[in-house]
Amino acid sequence: MTNIFTEISPALRRRHAAETRFMWFGRIAIFIAIGFLVVMIGSIAWIGSGALKQTQVELSVFIDPQEISADAIADADYSKLVKSALRSRFPEVKKRRDKKNLYGLVSYDAAYTLRDKVVADPDLIGQTVNIWFVASDDLDMLIKGNLTITGDEKMRRFDDKQLGWVESLKQEDAIETRFNRAFFTSGDSREPELAGILGAFVGTALTLLVCFCLSFPVGILAAIYLEEFARKNRWNDLIEVNINNLAAVPSIVFGLLGLAVFLNAFGLPRSSPLVGGLVLALMTLPTMIIAARAALRAVPPSIREAALGIGATRIQTVFHHVAPLALPGMLTGAIVGMARALGETAPLLMIGMVAFIVDIPNSILQPATALPVQIFLWADSPERAFLEKTSAAIIVLILFLILMNLVAILLRNKFSQRF
Amino acid sequence: MGEIPTAPFVSGNRTRRRLGELVVHILLVSSSLVAVGVTVGIVFSLAFEAFQFFKMVPWQDFLFGTEWSPQTAIREDQVGAEGSFGVLPLVVGTLLISAIAMAIATPLGLASAIYLAEYATPRSRNIIKPVLEILAGIPTVVYGFFAALMIAPFIRMTGSSIGLEVASESALAAGIAMGIMIVPLISSLSDDVINSVPQSLRDASYGLGATQAETIRNVILPAALPGISGSLLLATSTAIGETMIVVMAAGMAANLSLNPLAAVTTVTVQIVSLLTGDQEFDSAKTLSAFALGILLFCVTLVLNIIAQKIVKHFREQYD
């Protein structure tokens, strides 16, 4: 009689191998997904970290009294002063092309830096002062090592002569990379070295404010109605199906709605945070309602029965007892909804928040842009220097997303009650 | 009711209370109607503008035309002054990119859902699940940027090293980024579905001597199939409606092609490119975006309704 085990053991081994393979499929799938996440965030953070630093160039500028009239200090031609400072630093430069290249080392913002200095302190007129100027984006990229400086001279952004100037400035310690404050304190700019995210950030904050103020109350009230008051009938079923489907409508369709209704029919100001907030509010409303309903459902019926039992009306029961208990859960859902709205880009493109806006908006009616839209705009720019700005803006956006989600988690942990 | 003595001030109070409650009740009802209003608003605004469009371009040309080159005439007698509004190249492009995305997301999402639901220890599950969900929380503009910056050049490089011609804005690059984006959607929905398959089915299968993998393949997956297909439909609808990834990583030119290495464009890309920049609201070019919008809305709506029906039916089966 053959042993039954020797008979089945090859098959058993095969089956166990299949078992292990199967488990590894799952592990590999998770590894691929998380690996992609790590590579994506890691590489973007790596590129974006460059934008925290800014290259600056020190020049000694002779503030020529002949160029500045005493009664209109701010109107003088400061770019001329900066140019002559560069010329006197490199007296050997004579050809027109070379001079143009030389002036290109500092940002065109240098003239304004100088003007602000002189306006703030008119005593400087007639003196020679050392001032740090923001370098142009090309020089910035060169110093950060993002430009190729080998190969054919004509194909490069810096020819050997320019590299010589940079080298000589470097030897005098007249080139430094410093913390890039401008990135966090200024609005958008056509010049990558001057572009900042504050404008987009304020635009996003205003938009989200409008969005929250509209969708949170409406979402809560709708949830209270559906969960606490609505009888189960056809009409309320329709509302419910409708909300579930609305949550899955592509966001760009909400943008089309905003364009057709808020801009064309109501004539609200284009590109404004008001319209952006309205559109995002409509988009987040289903999420808010669904989250708020889940929070209300978690409040045990005994609370309601107790309140009703001592003579409260249904409205009193809900507003004095049920809703306050459900509020942390509702807020958590609201923050998650707002985090989604924070990253939303497509509907904002539809309502014109994609315009190039330098000023930092200070009301919900002014044209503005939003952080994700700013990322989209910068990602489209051809300049190499915008690449690190885009990545840095993405990191800022993701940090805020993480922050919002952390707040939501903390809120949930702090107020979560087991009944 | 019998004789219940009530002081006048109580009853006065009560009418005031009733009135207040009525106001609150109306407020509650109207809030819940906002959501319905939004749907009605979407349908009517899209339909209105699309109607204007179909007055200029016959709907047969729109739905069955094979050439898409929207333009407004600068001169009356210009060649091709009408522009052509055949939506087929866009539909094919959208389906191609969504199909690539689903081809990537389905195996990854299902395998991770099975692992999380059946194999993972509670501790590793508590770590892996939120990390996967980060993928869903990252704004799509980031995926678009990454696809255009890293994935597309990588595919192009790999392609040219083995002698393939790859467009710099290939459908494959956008599809891969989109696929990774929808992995958590599929995995978390399928995870829920697999978890709701009753334990008794597993126990019965183990009792007959099946291994865990055999149980999953032969018992749990067939039982969970309706729910899983619901989650796949929802993911497809997300992929079709996704905008930023394709705007940044897919092409603008409408090619009627099924080659994943070629540049194709999608419905959402065209909506964005038609409506950003200067618009006049009487041209067929601008209005065609709304016709595309209503097409997109209808397709995703149908997919969602079917998916929700399936999932709901599945839930009821095991409740």
A49, amino acid identity: S
Cross-chain CB nearest to B38 (options A246, A339, A380): A246
Task: Compute the Cα dihedral for A274, A280, A284, A285 and give only its sign.
Answer: positive
Are B260 and B163 in a shared domain? yes
B247, amino acid identity: V
Q: By C-alpha distance, which of A307, A337, A342, A336 is closest to A322? A: A307
CA atoms of B225 and B314, how far apart (whole Å): 9
Q: What was the pLDDT predicted at A230?
A: 85
Are B174 and B289 in a shared domain? yes
Are B41 and B88 in a shared domain? no
Q: What tens digit of pLDDT does each residue of A52-104 get? A: 888 888 888 888 887 777 777 777 788 888 888 888 888 888 888 888 888 88
Residue B12 confidence (pLDDT) above 80 = no
Mean pLDDT of B100-104: 96
Distance from CA of A134 to the nearest CA of B (A): 27
Bridge partner residues of A178 (DSSP): A54
E strand or H helix at A58, and its extent? strand A53-62
B239, amino acid identity: A
Q: What tens digit of pLDDT does each residue of A237-261 get? A: 888 888 888 888 999 999 999 999 9
Q: Best interface-test mutation with A: which of B125, B142, B292 has the largest number of A CBs within 10 A?
A: B142
Are B28 and B163 in a shared domain? no
- What is the crossing angle of helices A273-297 and A234-246, to 10°? 120
Q: By C-alpha distance, which of A53, A102, A47 is closest to A379? A: A47
Are B120 and B267 in a shared domain? yes
CA atoms of A16 and B230, how far apart (whole Å): 31
Structural domain including B195 reads 84-318
What residue in B sits closest to A239 (Cα-Cα)?
B36
CB contact under 8 A, A34 and B132: yes
Mean pLDDT of A290-299: 92
Which among A126-135, A178-187, B13-22, B217-226 has the top mean pLDDT?
B217-226
Residue B38 lies in a domain: yes
Are B236 and B97 in a shared domain? yes
Q: What tens digit of pLDDT does each residue of B165-217 get? A: 888 888 999 999 999 999 999 999 999 889 989 999 999 999 999 999 999 99
| Block residue for tokens 């370098």 | A135
Q: How many CB atoms lie within 10 A of CB A20?
A: 10
Residue B13 confidence (pLDDT) above 70 = no
CA atoms of B145 and A392, how far apart (whole Å): 12
ipTM above 0.85, yes or no: yes
Burial class (CB in 10 A: 0-12, 13-18, 19+), A65: exposed
On chain A, the residues whose CB falls within 8 A of the CB of B214 are 15, 18-19
A140, A150, A359, B29, B310 from A154: Cα distances, Å: 20, 11, 38, 71, 64
Are B24 and B109 in a shared domain? no
- pLDDT band at B260; cut points 50, 70, 90: confident
Residue B76 lies in a domain: no
Q: How many CB atoms lie within 10 A of CB A360?
A: 18
More confident site: A264 or A206: A206
Looking up residue B270, the CATH number of its domain turns out to be 1.10.3720.10
Q: What tens digit of pLDDT does each residue of B32-73 get? A: 888 888 889 899 989 998 898 888 888 888 888 888 888 655
Residue A205 confidence (pLDDT) above 90 = yes
For chain B, give the percent of residues with pLDDT over 90: 46
Q: What was the pLDDT predicted at A40?
A: 94
Listed in sequence order, the residues at least 6 apart from B43 whose beta carbon sits closer than 8 Å to its beta carbon are B297
A6-10, A102-106, A243-247, B81-85, range with the lowest pLDDT = B81-85
Residue B242 lies in a domain: yes
CB contact under 8 A, A29 and B301: no
Domain end residue (candidates: B56, B76, B107):
B56
**Rounded to 5 degrees, what are φ and ψ at A320?**
-90, -25
Residue B277 confidence (pLDDT) above 70 = no
Tell me if B243 sits within 8 A of A344, measured CB to CB: no
Q: What was the pLDDT predicted at A34?
A: 94
On chain B, the residues whose CB falls within 8 A of the CB of A19 are 211-214
On chain B, the residues whose CB falls within 8 A of the CB of A260 are 45-46, 48-49, 290
More confident site: B76 or A52: A52
CA atoms of B148 and B158, how far apart (whole Å): 15
More confident site: B185 or A357: B185
Residue B265 lies in a domain: yes
Are B176 and B108 in a shared domain? yes
Residue B126 lies in a domain: yes
Mean pLDDT of A364-374: 91
Q: By C-alpha distance, which of A246, A240, A201, A236 is closest to A337? A: A246
Q: How many CB atoms lie within 10 A of CB B265?
A: 25
Distance from CA of B77 to the nearest CA of A (A): 30
On chain A, the residues whose CB falls within 8 A of the CB of B296 are 250, 252-253
Cross-chain CB nearest to A253 (options B214, B275, B293): B293
Number of domains in chain B: 2
Are B179 and B217 in a shared domain? yes
Residue B2 lies in a domain: no
Residue B5 confidence (pLDDT) above 60 = no
Are B44 and B180 in a shared domain? no
What residue in A sits closest to B281 (Cα-Cα)?
A264
Q: Is A61 helix (H, G, I), strand (E, B) or coil?
A: strand
Residue A415 confidence (pLDDT) above 90 = no
More confident site: B9 or B185: B185
- Confidence (pTM): 0.89
Q: What tens digit of pLDDT does each residue of A147-163 get? A: 777 777 777 777 777 88
Q: Is A175 helix (H, G, I), strand (E, B) or coil?
A: strand
CB contact under 8 A, B139 and A248: no
CA atoms of B204 and B214, how far apart (whole Å): 12
The residue count of chain A comes to: 419
Residue B235 lies in a domain: yes
Are B288 and B166 in a shared domain? yes
Token pair recorded at residue A149:
């400086």
On chain B, the residues whose CB falls within 8 A of the CB of A225 are 28-29, 31-32
Which of the 8 DSSP states describes residue A128? E
Residue B7 lies in a domain: no
CB contact under 8 A, A376 and B137: no
Which of the 8 DSSP states describes residue A132? E
The residue count of chain B comes to: 319
Burial class (CB in 10 A: 0-12, 13-18, 19+), B30: middle
Mean pLDDT of B224-234: 91
- pLDDT band at B1; cut points 50, 70, 90: very low
B77, amino acid identity: D
